[in-house]
Amino acid sequence: MLRALKGTFRFFSTDIKKEAMAAMEEYKTFIYDIDSYTAWLSKVMKSPVPVVLNCYADWSNPCRKLVPIIQKHALEARGKWALANYNIDELPDLMKGLQIKVVPTLILMNGGNYINKLEGMPDEDSLAQFLSDVKMLAGLLTDEDILVSVLEAAKDFLNAKEYDNAVFSYKDALKNEKYREKYEYLIYSNLANAHFLKGELAKAEDYAIKARSKNPDEAKTNKELENILNVVEQTRNNQEYTEVLNKLEEEASADLMNISKQTQIAMVHLNYGYHQKAIDKAIEIIEKEKSLKGEGQKTLLEIVKVLGEKHESIIAARKRLQKLMTKIYV
């Protein structure tokens, strides 16, 4: 591939030719062809820097499209990693050993070891991810690049429902002191979601609150955070409701004639949003008292004040009460 470029230099001045040839000599140290097993051993297996092996075929259009793209990245790296171009038709046994099933295929090697593989013509995202691995091995990633890579891996874990790994990765990202503040809202939001999906509501709430404190404006439009906090609040209310109700019902069962406990039970139902249960309990008290002037009626009126006379449950309760009064006064 590099040999084909030499013929173009005849159109330029002597100085430009010298510069171009010097550049070519430099580039040949990190962009080269693998045309023999000796080259494979010396330039790939024993390379002091990571090597991207570009497995191609002359007859493949996707290969021709990929070459300038991957070569551009290699040139930008300036020798921090090498690009080895390998024509699979020239060394077919090597192709079998590498288990190449499709071209183009990019193989990342480091210290003579296989690291990663990218098969077929890659899209922009998959190539970027592959090159991120290359840059990491070559020491070309900034602290922020590394943090972003960790966050991408964490998101992949979250999408794959590997919640423990997601939590570990997001917490690992928090260790990046230099760029932590920039990404804290994102990290806390996703930690809240991961713990929520694990069923760990207390931790989910804690991280949701932290996320909201880091970016209140964005948190207002974050439906996931809103849902987490709503569910946590509802769950807490349900637990509290159950505890309070159980205590009252236990006390009421010990004194069946104590109407006060019964009205308290009705109001507990009402205060925690169980409107129908509150109405049922109030009507039950009225039925026991056989009167519209007792505690049951007072309780029902309190419920009407809260819900309003046009509430569908109140309209239905009024009809039930009329039937009940017919029985009581007949």
CATH of the domain at 80: 3.40.30.10
Q: Between vectors from CA 50 to CA 44 and to CA 55, what angle results, nearest 5°?
A: 55
Question: Is 11's pLDDT higher than 60?
Answer: no
Last residue of a domain, one of 121, 138, 155: 138
Residue-wise pLDDT for 303-312, tens only, equals 999 999 888 8
Q: What is the mean pLDDT of residues 247-260?
A: 88
DSSP 176-245: -TTTHHHHHHHHHHHHHHHHHHHT-HHHHHHHHHHHHHH-HHHHHT-HHHHHHHHHHHHHHHHHHHHHHH
- Type of residue at 73: H
- Asked whether the predicted pLDDT for residue 20 surpasses 90, the reply is no
Identity of the amino acid at 245: L
Q: Which residues, in sequence order, are CB contacts of 294 under 8 Å at separation 6+?
A: 259, 285, 286
41 domain-assigned: yes
Nearest to 52 by CA among 141, 123, 131: 131
Residues 122 and 159 reside in one and the same domain: no
Same-domain check for residues 23 and 75: yes
The strand pair at 105-110 and 113-119 is best described as: antiparallel
Q: What share of the chain is helix, strand, coil (3-state, %, to 5)?
A: 70, 10, 20
Integer CA distances (angstroms), 171 to 10, 24, 167, 168, 235, in order: 58, 46, 6, 5, 26
User: What distance in Å separates the CA atoms of residue 55 and residue 95, rounded to the nearest whole number?
Assistant: 8
pLDDT at 10 over 50: no
221 lies in the same domain as 274: no
Q: What is the pLDDT of residue 21?
A: 52
Q: How many residues does the chain have?
A: 330
Nearest Cα residue to 190 out of 213, 208, 212, 216 = 208
Decide if 210 is inside a domain: yes
Confidence bin at 25 (pLDDT 50/70/90)? low
**281 in the same domain as 212:** no
What's the average model confidence in pLDDT over 298-319? 90
**186 and 121 housed in the same domain:** no
CA dist., res. 111 & res. 107, Å (int): 13
Does residue 153 sit in the same domain as residue 112?
no
| Last residue in a domain, options 104, 123, 138 | 138
pLDDT for res 165: 95
The string of pLDDT tens digits covering residues 155-164 is 999 999 999 9
106 and 198 both lie in a single domain: no
Q: Is the model's pLDDT at 3 over the cut of 50? A: no
Whether residue 128 lies inside any domain: the answer is yes
Residue 44's nearest CA partner among 105, 118, 6, 94 is 94
Residue ending a domain, among 111, 138, 165, is 138
Q: How far apart are the first and last CA of the chain?
A: 106
Beta bridge partners of 106: 54, 118
Contacts of 271 (CB under 8 A, 6+ apart): none
pLDDT at 292: 83
DSSP 3-state of 269: helix
- On the question of pLDDT at 16 being above 50, the answer is no
Q: Are 266 and 303 in contact (CB under 8 A)?
A: yes
For the record, the structure tokens of 298 come out as 């007072």
Looking at the structure, do residues 285 and 169 belong to the same domain, yes or no? no
Quick one: pLDDT at residue 2? 47
Using left for φ > 0, alpha for ψ between -120 and 50, and beta otherwise, residue 133 falls in alpha
Note the pLDDT of residue 15.
54
- Residues 122 and 226 occupy one common structural domain: no
Q: How many domains does the chain have?
A: 3
Residue 32 domain boundaries? 3-138
Per-residue pLDDT tens digits for 117-144:
999 999 998 999 899 899 989 999 888 9
DSSP string across 7-29: GGGGGS-HHHHHHHHHHHHHHTT
* Most confident region among 5-14, 94-103, 290-299 by mean pLDDT: 94-103
Q: What's the whole-number average pLDDT of the chain?
A: 89
pLDDT tens sequence across 70-87: 999 999 999 999 999 999
pLDDT tens, position by position, 186-240 = 999 999 999 999 999 999 999 999 999 999 999 999 999 999 999 998 888 888 9
Nearest residue to 151 (alpha-carbon basis) of 176, 130, 134, 126? 176
Give percent of the chain above pLDDT 90.
69
What is the average per-residue pLDDT within 8-15? 46
Per-residue confidence (pLDDT) for residue 8, from 0 to 100: 43
Name, of 154-158, 270-274, 315-319, the range with top average pLDDT.
154-158
At residue 5, the pLDDT reads 44
Residue 24 Cα distances to 6, 51, 56, 80, 269, angstroms: 9, 19, 22, 16, 82
